[in-house]
Chains A and B, each alone.
Chain A
Amino acid sequence: MFEFLQYRVEDVMTPDPVTVTPQTRLRELEALFESHDFNGVPVVGDDHHLLGVVTKYDLLRAFGLSTQSIVPHYDDIMEQTAESVMTADPITVTPDLPLSRLLQLLLDRHNKSFPVTREGRLLGIVAREDVLKALRRATQHGEVGP
């Protein structure tokens, strides 16, 4: 019944996720999103140190109308770097965070995922889908249990 409360982030996260560097071009980033089924990707520096997160939303935002030019320069924007559009110093979670707390954080922040770090180093990614899977697992026993 309350098995979910026992789960922690490290039980369900995706360890060693795909990452990009600050210099990754938006063109490469778009290709990455095209070939993987995730919404955002961590931006890491040396020693897997987390610098930021870049999402599909960030990528789209780069092509939005702005006060800088009357028409977006689509080709040039594709050559911009991940660093220029990423969310720097993103909200992170630790691997030992209870999953119930993570669920609440997903609701409060409307994020689709959070990087999992320890002392600034990226360990994994935990996403809405991971929590949903954990919820299913935690409640399957309930159907047949005492």
Chain B
Amino acid sequence: MSTLIYSHAACSRHDTGPGHPESAARLSAVLEALKGPGFEGLAWREAPEASMEQLTRLHPLDYVERVLAAVPARGHVALDGDTVLSPGSGEAALRAAGAACAAVDAVLGGEARTAFCATRPPGHHAEPAISMGFCMFNNAAVAAFHALAAHGLTRVAVIDFDVHHGNGTQAAFLDRPDCQYLSSHQSPLYPGTGHRSEQGVGNIVNVPLAASSGSAEIRYAWSKQLEPALREFAPELIIVSAGFDAHYMDPLAGLNFTEDDYRWLTRKILAVAADCAGGRVVSMLEGGYNLEALGSCVAVHVQELQGAA
């Protein structure tokens, strides 16, 4: 089976303004990497727009309406200091969330075992009723709730290795024993959440990493904390919030992951998926702001997904 890649041209029309690090150039770097040699076997899919039903399983209807109503007819509007909208942002956000749901449908429907959503804006900072940190809708959490509600799953895990803590996904899962959220992230750093003591109903596992942490620290954290918790939860589907800003060249953070660390992490996630989730992994792009590093990290991540497909 091929690994599915969900993307859409609309995701490039989410324009955050000159010099903004969460730019359309990020998606170009990702797409260029995935169109290179070795990726001929990928199966490309157009990302559909998420439905209101899918979005409102997580986000209150008035929040969804408010965010979409804030999309300007021209120019830019800032939802907060970080999160900037342009005329194309509404469709991009709907397709980013829609891609995640479609990937869940395809993987649970047996069309593929693994999928990657090459989409933006990212999602993991978006709380049920708060947009922040470049994020409008929480793509990973929307996808998890979709897997539970539309496919009858009972346990879905989201693994988030973005350098920033996914406060939005954590907030979505706080009182949901059917969802597990596992995050490694730099601390202290934006958004300031993700302390070890934040455990939800025993379904949240936060592993804060000090600035300058790299291969040794993340591999130790995975082996001693993240993997055991994930195996104990035994998810039927693993969703990955794949941010690549813990890379040593990223301008917005201070961790020192390498391409090889992302390869290693992806393999480890796939191994758990093979043991308890029928190999089913739906991954989606979150952060990563050094274009060169982003391209090479996505390439190794998808290579591994492909190897397991």
Binding site for B on A (CB under 8 A): 65-71, 73
Nearest to B251 among chain A residues (CB) is A71
Which of B2-10, B175-183, B184-192 is the interface stretch? B184-192
A66→B189 CA distance, assembly (Å): 5
Contact call A71/B189, Cβ cutoff below 8 A: no
Chain B residues with CB under 8 A of A65: 189-190, 252-254
Closest B residue to A64 using CB positions: B254
| A70 contacts B134, C-beta separation under 8 Å | yes
Are B188 and A70 neighbours in the complex by a CB distance under 8 Å? no
Say yes or no for B82: interface residue by CB 8 A criterion.
yes
Residue from B80, B189, B252 within 8 A of A67 (CB atoms): B189
Task: Decide yes or no whether B37 CB sits under 8 A from chain A.
Answer: no
How far apart are A73's CB and chain B's nearest CB, in angstroms? 6
B7-34 near A? 1/0 per residue, CB < 8 Å: 0000000000000110000000000000
Give the shortest distance, in Å, between A76 (CB) and chain B (any CB). 8
- With A69-B80, A69-B82, A71-B21 known, 7 other A-B pairs at CB within 8 A are A65-B189, A67-B189, A67-B191, A67-B192, A69-B81, A70-B190, A70-B252
Q: Which residues of B contact A68 (CB under 8 A)?
A: 190, 192
Task: Report the separation of the CA atoms of residues A122 and B190 in the bound assembly, to the nearest whole angstrom.
Answer: 39
A67 close to B81 (CB less than 8 A): no
Most interface-central of A65, A66, A68 (chain B CB within 10 A): A65
Q: Is B123 in contact with chain A by the CB < 8 A criterion? A: no
Specify the chain B residue showing the minimal Cβ separation from A65: B189
Within the complex, what minimum Cβ distance (angstroms) separates A14 from chain B? 36
Q: How far is the CB of B28 from chain A (nearest CB, A)?
A: 20
Q: Which residues of chain B are near A73, meaning CB under 8 Å?
A: 81
When distances are taken between beta carbons in the complex, the residues of chain B under 8 Å from A70 are 82, 125, 133-134, 164, 190-191, 252
Q: A9 to nearest B CB, angstroms?
A: 38
A-chain residues with CB within 8 Å of residue B20 when the two chains form the complex: 71
Residues of chain A contacted by B80 (CB below 8 angstroms): 69
A71–B134 Cα distance when bound, in Å, is 10
B127 to chain A, nearest CB (A): 14
Q: Which residues in chain B, 185-208, are within 8 Å of chain A measured between CB atoms? A: 188-192
Residues on A with C-beta less than 8 A from B81 are 69, 73
Smallest CB-CB separation from B125: which chain A residue?
A70
Give B288 Cβ to nearest chain A Cβ, in Å: 13
- The distance in angstroms between the C-alpha atoms of A126 and B133, with both chains bound, is 44
Using Cβ atoms and an 8 Å threshold, which residues of chain A touch B253?
Answer: 65
Q: How far is the CB of B286 from chain A (nearest CB, A)?
A: 11
Q: How far apart are the CA atoms of A70 and B191 in the complex, in Å?
A: 7
Q: Within the assembled complex, what's the spacing in Å between the Cα atoms of A44 and B33?
A: 55
The list of the 7 closest CB pairs from A to B, nearest first, reads: A67-B192, A70-B190, A70-B133, A70-B82, A69-B81, A69-B82, A67-B190
Question: CA–CA, A73 to B84, complex, Å?
Answer: 13
Check B191 against A71 for contact (C-beta < 8 Å): no
CA distance A84 to B133 in the complex (A): 24
